[in-house]
Structure 1
Amino acid sequence: MTGGQRPARRLRPLWVALAAVVVLLACGVPTALVAGLVRADDPRAPGSSAGRAEDPAAEAARRLGERMVAELARQSAALLGGDRAGFLAVAEPVAHPELRRRYAALRALRVTAWQADANGLPAPVEGRAGEWRLPVEFRYCFVAPGCRTSRVLTETRWREGERPRLLAVEPSRSAATGTRPWEVSEMAVAVGPRTLVATTPALRKKLPGLLAQAEAAARIADTYAVDGRTPDRYRIFYAGRGEWQRWYGGGRPKWTGGYAVTVGGGHHEVVLNADGLVTGAVDDLLRHELTHAATLPERGYPGKGTWWLVEGLAEYAGADGAPIDRYAGLAEVRRLLGGGWDGRLDSLGAADDAPADRVSASYGVSYLAVRHLIDRFGPERLLAFFAAVVHERVPVDQAAERTLDEPWSALHDECVGYVRAVVA
């Protein structure tokens, strides 16, 4: 999810327009096979109830799974303890190069929690005697101890034995979130009081400047946190050309400069497109994306009809109090109002294949509508309206009556009238 830029700095509109992307994490169902920290309320694995008869093959698989989980518990403890040799010790040498890279990336990201939960029973690998697959859900925290963990589901491959040996950990291919950066890339990392910024070693020199910009953006984003619940750390990944196509599944619209993706545990990880940003655009983009991370619920927003509110608030934060005439998208807004829009805020969402000027206009109208509501009611009441619509999923007309004390039909027309007046 993303925002627009200021006119004086908008050198390449196609690449500084920003995407409205919120992705929900598809979490697996936890079982009783847990490595690392175990919650007391985790449900039992299917077939584990006392006294229940169990198929001999299923019993053997369950016991094998328990031994695999024990190895993952050792590996988790080694990772958190900074013991690379112990982290590698559970695996065959064929897996060591990839595991060394993963270990280094997670340690660079200052991993503070790492749990590996079996997400089912192991299954034999067809055509490979003695090899098994086990679906595993990894839960992780970075920097902040005791945070609510984010989750990623992946496949592991093992060789059977008294102590099973890990052969491979595959990158996740979740349709919801795709592959995390630390699963497939080396990481260079900088950490500040409010942010974590990571990129590849090739772009390491960008980190000091990015960290300073991210910290400044975080101070703005914190002020928009719904109910004052700010993220423990804003997680930002700066993607080069290859990483942009690979991290979190790639495949973003061409006009995307950045986006925020929900990864569970109340966390939204922000990705910036290094190739798509012009000089001076990063500050606005970071304020926009971190505001998404501060304001969006874990399950994402209700649908396209609320796109204007979600993006308008992020654009407002991105503008950071700049005068309206410095907003980059006014010319595009003027053209959109001249034709091609039905005048409804709930129809503003831009399609993935939309031309850049249409995208910029959609963001611009959303920004102006939210700006008008804040000018009229103040930021606190606007955030209450936002919380009702986006977090509680209250219909917008009911939310307006409850938080703004006015009928939404009149306010909607007032917002559109304001937009038309600004660009007249």
Structure 2
Amino acid sequence: MRRIRPLGAALAAVVLLLACGLPAALVAGLVRAGDPPVPQASAAASDDPATVAARRLGERMTAELARQSAALLGGDRTGFLAVAEPVAHPDLRRRYAALRALRVTAWEADATGLPTPVEGRPGEWRLLVEFRYCFVAPGCRTSRVLTGTRWREGDRPRLLAVEPSRSAETGTRPWEVSELAVAVGARTLVATTPALRKELPGLLAQAEAAARIADSYAVDGRAPDRYRIFHAGRDEWQRWYGGGRPKWTGGYAVTVGGGHHEVVLNAEGLVAGGVDDLLRHELTHAASLPERGYPGRDTWWLVEGLAEYAGADGEPIDRYAGLDEVRGLLGGGWDGRLDSLSPADDAPADRVGGSYGISYLAVRHLVDRFGPERLRAFFAAVVHERTPVAEAAERVLGEPWPALHAECVAYVRAVVG
């Protein structure tokens, strides 16, 4: 995630990403597309008649969802709407248009249990459904979202509503709740609201350039099939993926399963000259982070430092926008340990900028000292393999971590003088 700087200044990088062990405000759940589906309830000899009836109703609902999925992939809007009552059509038309604009290439829907009656509404039922999807790239590992659906009972059940997921894992996806305008390039997909459509061509060009940098930070060379970027207006920023980000946030990346991280940009927080490094930063997260999240706050400096290093894209150190904030943090408020740099949600802007600046300079020193390949191997050991930093330093870099840590801090102090 990146923070918003005052108008006229560059953005300093701040990322809020899924991290195991972080407080609830910072944690997104881990939806892993490689996991098996939630088991369906199976028939048993002891099932009572109500359970048997609910199972048969669920099977009919699932059949309707299969018809709807085929219609979506086939570009048949009439067929997509045909499973639903007219009350659901406005929402379904918007969802259909958004998913088609995103070039959906896989769409599967499976019930995760038996339907349950809706209290106070005879003949209405709720069914929890797992939707699995791909965009643009055929045959990708699917992302997942768990959603409630409501139905009217019948020989052919009729869909009444599809609820926004509001899931604890990642929150509501943009295509669930918003109209979208979309542009697709060779490496990226960029979506925004119709009101911001005019910004799409420029954003796509900038995203494509950023993707070329981010690709080089993919662990084991496994770059995303497409980087998914959502450009949020004011209302969407508060709604997409659960909203509630720290006020200093200019962008973030969130895992959605299947090896995908979706990037969200805060349209109100972008300033001229700050978009390119923001995109390089966030797409590097999408390329480098594991889908299960990183180990915790004590590795935050490495995750953010790598993204900031990619965002800087080789610019001279004296052009880095956060040096004054680094100097301020060194002067007070920091205990000198890299593993304590992660700022609180309500941290002041200068504290945030200083934290990311120190992280950037520490990673830059490690790259200068050991080269980019060994730095990436160190990152993979710590962030992907969850090897303790001290052990990874000995194994990958060949030196004790206390000495390297002291070197990094000394380098930071030397840079800001």
Q: Provide the TM-score with structure 1 as the length reference.
A: 0.93
Give the aligned partner of residue 47 of structure 1: 42
The 1:268/1:357 distance shift into structure 2, 3 A limit, reads same
Shift of 1:19: 3.5
One of 71, 78, 90 as aligned partner of 2:64: 71
Shift of 1:46: 3.1
Give the aligned partner of residue 216 of structure 2: 223
Give the aligned partner of residue 33 of structure 1: none
Shift of 1:174: 1.0
The answer to whether the Cα contact below 8 Å between 1:16 and 1:256 also exists between their aligned partners in 2 is no
2:120 and 2:33 map into 1 onto residues whose CA distance is 28
Deviations 1:399-422 (A, max 9, x none): 111100111111011100100110
Shift of 1:289: 0.0
What amino acid maps onto 2:8 in structure 1? L
1:360 aligns with 2:353: yes
Secondary structure at 1:359's aligned position in 2? Answer: helix
One of 88, 113, 122 as aligned partner of 1:95: 88
Give the aligned partner of residue 333 of structure 1: 326
Shift of 1:391: 0.3
1:155 aligns with 2:145: no
1:409 and 1:120 map into 2 onto residues whose CA distance is 52
1:29 and 1:423 map into 2 onto residues whose CA distance is 44
One of 289, 293, 299 as aligned partner of 1:296: 289
The answer to whether the Cα contact below 8 Å between 1:16 and 1:257 also exists between their aligned partners in 2 is no
The 1:177/1:43 distance shift into structure 2, 3 A limit, reads closer
Deviates more, 1:207-216 or 1:18-27: 18-27
Shift of 1:53: 2.7
Structure 2 unmatched ranges of 5 or more: 19-26
1:193 and 1:400 map into 2 onto residues whose CA distance is 37
One of 8, 11, 23 as aligned partner of 1:11: 8
Deviations 1:76-98 (A, max 9, x none): 00000000000000000110011
Secondary structure at 2:2's aligned position in 1? Answer: coil
1:312 aligns with 2:309: no
2:180 and 2:233 map into 1 onto residues whose CA distance is 12
The answer to whether the Cα contact below 8 Å between 1:10 and 1:281 also exists between their aligned partners in 2 is no
What amino acid maps onto 2:14 in structure 1? L
Secondary structure at 2:159's aligned position in 1? Answer: strand
One of 251, 261, 266 as aligned partner of 1:268: 261
Shift of 1:17: 5.4
1:331 and 1:211 map into 2 onto residues whose CA distance is 32
Deviations 1:232-270 (A, max 9, x none): 000000000110011011110000000000000000000
The 1:206/1:28 distance shift into structure 2, 3 A limit, reads closer
1:117 aligns with 2:110: yes
The 1:4/1:99 distance shift into structure 2, 3 A limit, reads closer
The answer to whether the Cα contact below 8 Å between 2:13 and 2:278 also exists between their aligned partners in 1 is no
1:182 aligns with 2:178: no
**CA RMSD, aligned part only?**
1.9
The answer to whether the Cα contact below 8 Å between 2:12 and 2:322 also exists between their aligned partners in 1 is no
What amino acid maps onto 2:406 in structure 1? D
1:404 aligns with 2:400: no
What amino acid maps onto 2:2 in structure 1? T
What amino acid maps onto 1:138 in structure 2? F
1:57 aligns with 2:50: yes
Give the aligned partner of residue 164 of structure 1: 157
Shift of 1:56: 1.6
What amino acid maps onto 2:249 in structure 1? T
What amino acid maps onto 1:376 in structure 2? R
Structure 1 unmatched ranges of 5 or more: 31-38
One of 178, 199, 204 as aligned partner of 2:197: 204
Deviations 1:379-399 (A, max 9, x none): 110000000000000000111
Shift of 1:175: 2.1
2:279 and 2:385 map into 1 onto residues whose CA distance is 26
Q: Which runs of 4+ in 1 moved over 6 A?
A: none
2:389 and 2:301 map into 1 onto residues whose CA distance is 12
Shift of 1:20: 2.4
2:7 and 2:378 map into 1 onto residues whose CA distance is 31
One of 17, 22, 46 as aligned partner of 1:21: 17
One of 120, 126, 131 as aligned partner of 2:124: 131
2:47 and 2:95 map into 1 onto residues whose CA distance is 37
1:45 and 1:227 map into 2 onto residues whose CA distance is 35
Shift of 1:120: 1.2
One of 351, 355, 374 as aligned partner of 1:381: 374
1:28 and 1:337 map into 2 onto residues whose CA distance is 40
The answer to whether the Cα contact below 8 Å between 1:28 and 1:119 also exists between their aligned partners in 2 is no
What amino acid maps onto 2:57 in structure 1? L
Equivalent pairs, count = 409
1:18 and 1:200 map into 2 onto residues whose CA distance is 24
One of 185, 188, 191 as aligned partner of 1:192: 185
Shift of 1:306: 0.1
Give the aligned partner of residue 2 of structure 2: 2
2:13 and 2:289 map into 1 onto residues whose CA distance is 20
2:397 and 2:4 map into 1 onto residues whose CA distance is 27
Secondary structure at 1:158's aligned position in 2? Answer: strand
**% identical equivalent positions:** 80
What amino acid maps onto 1:373 in structure 2? L
Deviations 1:303-350 (A, max 9, x none): 000000000000000000000000001011011111110000000001
Shift of 1:44: 4.8
1:24 and 1:144 map into 2 onto residues whose CA distance is 25
Q: Provide the TM-score with structure 2 as the length reference.
A: 0.95
